[in-house]
Amino acid sequence: MTLDAAELELAITASLIDRFSEFSDDDNPLHMDQGFATAHSFKDRVAHGAISVAAISRLIGTQLPGTGALWRSLQIDWLAPLYPGDVLRLRVAVAQVSSVAGSIRLNITGTTGRDVEVLRGSAAVGIQATTQGLSTTPAAAPPAVPHSLPTAGRADRPVLVTGGTRGIGRATAIKLARLGHPVAITYHSGLAAADAVVLQIRKDGGQAHAYAFDATRPETAASLVADVRRQFGRLLALVHSASPQLSYAPFEALTQEGLSSLQTVYVGTGLALAQALAADCQAASWGRLVYVGTTAIVGDPPSNAAAYVAAKMGLLGLVRGLAVELGKRGTTCNMVSPGLTDTDLVADLPQRAKLLEAQRAPMRRLAVPDDTAALIGFLLGDEAGFITGSHLPVNGGIGML
Amino acid sequence: MNTLDRLLQVMSNVFDVPRERLSEASSADDVANWDSANVLHLTMAIESEFQITLTPDDMADMLSVKIILEILKNEGIE
């Protein structure tokens, strides 16, 4: 579709060819020697093809689009020679306006006075700084600030912490409540533990509610989030730390069911929760998704944990995929990977393995739940709004990225 | 002598440090001669003292007294 066009005429003269040859040092006898040119079946000295390119440059730079143009590419076919005495009539026409690329595509044609087509081509031209010469408004630049700046504080940003009754989830729920977030925690079977966390948060002056949730059933994530919304109005942040009890086994002993179960809890429910939160995050142009990973996926993984490592690696893929798509909604998505943390989750791990892990860490200790909770607290703040798609180990320096 | 005392005595001999400078909290971080060459000697000395056979993994893991106690525990020596 032609939106607009511009034209110029350029008289080709022997003097012009001489001047171009002097400027470019292209003194090929085809251009410079009439006898040589005619001996090669041309009727006269042949004008340098680049002379027509110079004329195209003038059209683009001064007329279409003119001031502010940034010429990005040129494709050109020379169809017939230009001789002294010819008049090159150049025409550029807008063929396409791409707002998102801030660019226009121009079709270029060149004819002589005898209406012989001598060249044909196309060019891409950036138009950041001009609309001159265009009959439509091109290149709607993205807004300077892609999403609204937050005006709410932490008290206006409820967070859902899955697996919030034990270990890292519990420490995170308490930490986030202290920072001012209303906190929804989920529990699977530990109602008493959930109550204890809620009571502790309320005693500290925070807001908390506990919800029964089976993280092996992603199809129930939407109704969980709906319940949280009924209590807190909206839900803008998620910390997915729920995990089944870990068992360690050589790969020969792993089962498809065991592998699927881990993948469902981490990746399947992780996705379902993100889907359930997406509408609120979009409406607020603000959101924080934090997934709890593991240092077992940093560097060489431990043995006898292949299913766990596979599922958490899958979760990292989810985190990166979500981050790419959620950024334009002002929503970040990250994975926090604690080092071996002495919690119920790893109660079955031999003491020797824990001691070794601690002794091999540059910081010479195992992780404690608060190490991870502190980072999650930071990630939920406005200061962390440019951190997304990141994999952040909290592991005392073991297996540095 | 209990297991810890026997172990520390072996380590004192191998590392050539006074027994009173070693404790259950000692590790390669704070015992001067606790290096890979001496861990080889320590492994052989422990095998001899406790009449057990250790594996290359055991040797590689010997980074602290607590870890060695766990290794001994695996061998049935509490």
**Cα(A212)–Cα(A188) distance, rounded to whole angstroms?**
6
Task: Give, for A306, the enclosing helix (H) or strand (E).
Answer: helix A306-326
Residues in chain B within 8 Å Cβ distance of A352: 61, 67, 70-71, 73-74
- Comparing CA positions, the residue from A189, A157, A188, A184 lying closest to residue A172 is A184
> Where do the CATH 3.40.50.720 domains begin and end in chain A?
154-394
**Closest chain A C-alpha to B60 CA, distance in angstroms:** 10
Residue A143: predicted pLDDT: 41
pLDDT digits (tens, 9 = 90+) for B3-17: 999 999 999 999 999
Interface probe with B: pick from A303, A304, A351, A355, most Cβ of B within 10 Å: A355
Task: Count Cβ atoms within 10 A of the Cβ of residue A120 and give its class: 0-12 exposed, 13-18 middle, 19 or more buried.
Answer: middle
User: Is-contact A268 A318, C-beta < 8 A?
Assistant: no
Residue of B nearest to A355 (CA): B67
Of B29, B64, B74, the CB nearest to A355: B64
Surface of A (320-359) touching B: CB under 8 A: 350-352, 355-356, 359
Q: To 10 degrees, what angle do helices A269-284 and A306-326 make?
A: 20
Over residues A221-241, mean pLDDT: 97
Contact B70 A350 (CB under 8 A): yes
Task: Give, for A87, the enclosing helix (H) or strand (E).
Answer: strand A87-98
Contact A352 B70 (CB under 8 A): yes
Residues 6+ apart with CB under 8 A from B5: none
Residues in chain B within 8 Å Cβ distance of A355: 64, 66-67, 70
Residue A99: predicted pLDDT: 67
What secondary structure letter does DSSP report for A267? I
Over residues A341-351, mean pLDDT: 84
* Domains of chain B as residue ranges with CATH: 3-16+24-74 (1.10.1200.10)
Surface of B (18-47) touching A: CB under 8 A: 27-29
User: Is-contact A32 A71, C-beta < 8 A?
Assistant: no
**Cα(A326)–Cα(A289) distance, rounded to whole angstroms?**
10
Residues in chain B within 8 Å Cβ distance of A351: 70
pLDDT digits (tens, 9 = 90+) for A169-226: 999 999 999 999 999 999 999 999 999 999 999 999 999 999 999 999 999 999 999 9
For residue A243, the Cα-to-chain-centroid distance in whole angstroms is 28
Report CA Rg, chain B.
11
Report CA Rg, chain A.
33
> Where do the CATH 3.10.129.10 domains begin and end in chain A?
5-126
Contact A355 B66 (CB under 8 A): yes
pLDDT digits (tens, 9 = 90+) for B54-68: 998 899 999 999 999
Over residues A146-172, mean pLDDT: 82
Please determine, for residue B50, whether its predicted confidence score (pLDDT) is greater than 90: yes
The complex's ipTM works out to 0.74
- The CATH code of the domain at A5-126 is 3.10.129.10
pLDDT digits (tens, 9 = 90+) for A247-266: 889 999 999 999 999 999 99
Please determine, for residue A132, whether its predicted confidence score (pLDDT) is greater than 70: no
Angle, CA of A345, A349 and A353, to the nearest 5°: 130
Which top CATH class is A154-394? alpha beta
Q: What is the largest CA-CA distance in chain A?
A: 102
A179 φ/ψ angles, rounded to the nearest 5 degrees? -75, -10
The answer to whether residue B75 neighbours chain A at the CB level (below 8 Å) is no
For residue A129, the Cα-to-chain-centroid distance in whole angstroms is 26
Of B29, B70, B74, the CB nearest to A355: B70
Strand runs labelled E in B1-78: none
**Closest chain B C-alpha to A356 CA, distance in angstroms:** 7
Contact A360 B63 (CB under 8 A): yes
For residue A313, the Cα-to-chain-centroid distance in whole angstroms is 19
Residues in chain B within 8 Å Cβ distance of A359: 27-28, 63-64, 67
User: Is-contact A163 A344, C-beta < 8 A?
Assistant: no
Q: What is the DSSP string of A101-148?
A: TTEEEEEEEEE-TT--EEEEEEEEEE-TT--TT-SS----PPPSSSSP
Mean pLDDT of the residues in chain A = 89
